[in-house]
Chain A
Amino acid sequence: MVQELRYLKETPSQTAGPYVHIGMTPNFCDIGGVYEADLGNAMVNDRTLGQRITVTGRIFDGAGALVRDAVIEIWQADSAGYYNSPSEMRGAADPNFTGWGRCPTRAEDGVYSFETVKPGNVPFKDGRPMAPHISFWIVARGINIGLQTRMYFPEETEANNADPLLARIEHRERVATLIAAKEGPVYSFDIYLQGPKETVFLDI
């Protein structure tokens, strides 16, 4: 008899539900005194290197309604293109930049917002540079498994044109769903869960 391949199965995902804030951002939903601050609400400090930017936007459902109860996490390289992670073997990341942020969409207007820095280039698996990007992970009531996507920068036309992930998008008009709009240091990145403007989501 052949040897057995003994892999465990990944724990199945379930929705984060409408009260995800209780566990992930308790201070945001008025549960004070348990944690000093909500995790992931400060990615930068006074000494962080790089170009300061704001990344903001909203999430829309298939009927065009705002998703006001989502939580977004982002993960990105520092301004030099290094990740603040033990799995980063290429060099040391900026110790004053976490690379990771967490923000709920506000109940009033559905807006999320991150104060961060513009990420540097990081390489694709074959060594080609990927265009600067921020990885997104979105959870909410009605979303059974977290949605992954990426935000790219509109001024990086050349890098975006050469980006190995963007190049994989068969329907070229959908590339635009991953590129933010820029106004000064503020990048707007709206996410459409469903419908004609649907954002490209990743299985990655």
Chain B
Amino acid sequence: MSDIPNRRPETGAFFGRDRSWHPPALTPGYKTSILRSPQRALLSLDGTISETTGPVFGHSIIGEMDNDLIHNFAKAGESAIGERIIVHGRVLDERGRPQAGVLVEFWQANAGGRYRHKKESYLAAIDPNFGGCGRAITDGEGCYAFRTVRPGAYPWPNGVNDWRPAHIHFSIFGHGFAQRLITQMYFEGDPMIWKCPIVGSIADKAAVEQLIAPPDWGNTIPMDARAYKFDIVLRGRRSTMFENKLEGN
């Protein structure tokens, strides 16, 4: 499945997750978490080969338009309505090593905050030229990029008057199944970030700030699209020089 060139695969176990940095399972301000959070402690185990390995996808799965949400659902000659932006960044691990050849998937509402999903009933209109999904595979330096429109804020039935800040959902693969991560990217300066119970599920302000993308004026294309930079950090893994030798194989 892999087409990462000239790279010795890493096989070490992953650093333990800092679960005080991540949101805990139970965050009552986000109501749905109340009945969907385990009450028993997680069973901890240093990673085995079942977690240090993981699927890797070849570039053959990526279509030409997969990282252009302005056009990948639009009728020929048309495009999605909204503020044109480029979102780009690097996928690194906790040791700062670029994660090359990893799949990044993203999805979002349209410029008015409306998702293209049958369960969604928000009054804001569907954009006939916007689907809302995209994907990319990082290059040798761990870089990814996509074009889209900036999503709108959107109301949700949690508190009486709760609105999600503008956000883009990200799903990231690393090279091991234990690195699997889903998160959300927010936009610098959005006042709703600090009112949102989903953002508020994260206790540490510095951890929240890790999810906020700054505008990247250097990569803004004049008369075309502004840019935002969003780097993603996956779990790092130990070197294998003193790992137990596998026997019996």
Contact = CB atoms under 8 A, between A and B. Distances in A.
A45 interface: no
Contact of A12 (B9, B21, B39, B176): B21
A37 to B, nearest CB: 10
Interface string A7-30: 111111111111111111010011
Contacts of B49: 83, 88, 122-123
Contacts, number: 302
A22 B23 contact: no
A142 B35 contact: yes
Interface residues of B, number: 102
Contacts of A154: none
B220 interface: no
A11 B66 contact: no
A123 B249 contact: yes
A34 B56 contact: no
Sort chain A's interface into a size bin.
35 or more
Interface of B: 1-2, 4, 9-11, 13, 15-19, 21-25, 27, 30, 32-40, 42-57, 61, 63, 65-66, 72-73, 92-96, 105-107, 115-120, 131-135, 169, 171-172, 175-178, 180-184, 198-199, 201-202, 206-208, 210-211, 232-236, 243-249
Interface of A: 6-24, 26, 29-31, 33-36, 39, 61-63, 65, 67, 69, 73, 75-77, 83-91, 98-100, 107, 122-127, 129-130, 133, 135, 137, 139-148, 150, 165, 168-169, 174, 193-195, 198-204
Given A85-B2, A87-B10, 16 more contacts: A14-B184, A14-B201, A19-B119, A19-B120, A26-B131, A29-B118, A31-B116, A35-B63, A39-B57, A125-B46, A125-B244, A142-B32, A142-B35, A143-B37, A194-B35, A198-B38
